[in-house]
Amino acid sequence: MPLDHYITLGRSGLRVSPLCLGTMTFGEDWGWGSSVTDSETILDAYLARGGNFIDTANAYTKGHSEKILGDHLGRHRSKRDRVVLATKFLSNMYRGDPNGGGAHRKAIVQQCEQSLRRLQTDYIDLYWMHAFDATTPIEETMRALDDLVRDGKVRYLGFSDTPAWKCAQAQTIASFRGWAPLVALQIEYSLLERTVEGELVPMARELGLGITPWSPLKSGVLTGKYKRADHGKHEAGRGVWALSALNDRTYDLLEALERIAEAHRTTVSRVAIAWVQGRPGVTSTILGARTMAQLEDNLAALEVTLTEKDLTELEALTKPKLNFPHDFIANGAAFVHGGTTINGRSAPVWPMSPATDEERH
């Protein structure tokens, strides 16, 4: 699938590229990341390929990420209107100010206004709540966001890194009250982070939220640069984010990814991204390229088509242990089906069910 074969996001008509350009690496203000010049080069290369979906946040590189995007796109209306520009609120940019961050009305409105100024635009295409704010009633959050949509400052809404039950509550309240709904869910999702398949993924598919995974390469672990033979000698730029994932199970996965990549004449990172992008409910996977080489490699994941054999092997190596009642429900067909086949799924007769008249006689 080429980058310019667009997909509608969730239960909306918004068209986005199958790979989204994440810009957390735009700016060197955190001690790592891309220079302004390199960031602009990466952005232009992505757009030249037909990519149209760009993701940032108010706090990324202390606001510099939004500023870079604003300088390069926002001040040029013809460029700005052709992209789907997404940013996030929640992070407090002002130490000592209790209202500087969060998902309450005061914070949402002022963070939106600040992002609009940095992005040099008068509207945000997709506005994400960056994470769950347990200190604010969800009704207050959704009403404030609905006001931003009605005011024309925001086009669509999404939640990131929020429990499934809270997303469901927010979507239900919005539906009953005629407020702007959520259309997307941003979550960590990779071969090394699959627990989202227990609650978040089914919730998103049921309620019309397009899934946009972040960290499909698990902070660089799934690029293939880490080897079992070098365990304990690694120096990861992302520290514990990467090193904590390096264990025997991960090395088994990496070795399988290397075999699959070699069979497809491609790279480990492309296989890992292709797996995520092919998961049910996923609309657009977020790439975190810091260099042009990383961008080129990651975009080529769209050229990889994994076989059933590949998928079976990766499934066996990464199947997650999900929270109760996932396994209980999965095994519950025997209680319900009565030994029949429903929607293509067969189940044996529950041995504790009452006998039929024929069996009694």
Contact 123, 91 (CB under 8 A): no
Angle CA(309)–CA(314)–CA(320) in degrees, nearest 5? 140
Q: pTM for the full model?
A: 0.93
Domains of the chain from N-terminus onward: 7-324 (3.20.20.100), 331-361 (no CATH)
When computed from its CA atoms, the radius of gyration of the chain, rounded to whole angstroms, is 22
Amino acid (1-letter code) at residue 61: T
Q: How many CB atoms lie within 10 A of CB 166?
A: 17
Q: Bridge-partner residues for 34, per DSSP?
A: 26
Contact 295, 42 (CB under 8 A): yes
Buried b (16+ CB within 10 A) or exposed e, 48-83: ebebbbbbbbbbbbebbbbbbbbbbbbeeeeebeeb
Q: Minimal CA–CA distance to 75: which of 116, 109, 46?
A: 116
- Residue in the block written with tokens 């199947």: 319
Mean pLDDT of 71-91: 95
Whether the pLDDT of residue 127 is over 70: the answer is yes
pLDDT of residue 239: 61
Q: Are strands 53-55 and 124-129 parallel, antiparallel or unpaired?
A: unpaired
pLDDT of residue 240: 66
- Mapping DSSP to helix (H, G, I), strand (E, B) and coil, where does residue 237 land? coil
Report the side by side order of strands in the sheet with 84-89: 210-214, 182-188, 154-160, 124-129, 84-89, 53-55, 19-22, 285-287
pLDDT of residue 231: 77
Q: N- to C-terminal Cα distance for the chain? A: 60
Indicate the Cα dihedral angle 78, 81, 83, 87, nearest 10°: 130
123 is a catalytic site residue? no
pLDDT of residue 199: 98
Tell me the pLDDT tens digit for each residue of 50-63: 999 999 999 999 99
- Which whole-number Å values give the CA distances from 197 to 7, 193, 202, 236, in the listed order? 21, 9, 7, 28
**313 burial class (0-12, 13-18, 19+ CB within 10 angstroms)?**
middle
Tell me the pLDDT tens digit for each residue of 281-340: 999 999 999 999 999 999 999 999 999 999 999 999 999 999 999 888 888 777 888 888
Indicate the Cα dihedral angle 268, 274, 275, 281, nearest 10°: 160
Q: Minimal CA–CA distance to 258: which of 336, 310, 197?
A: 310
Catalytic residue among 46, 60, 127, 156: 60
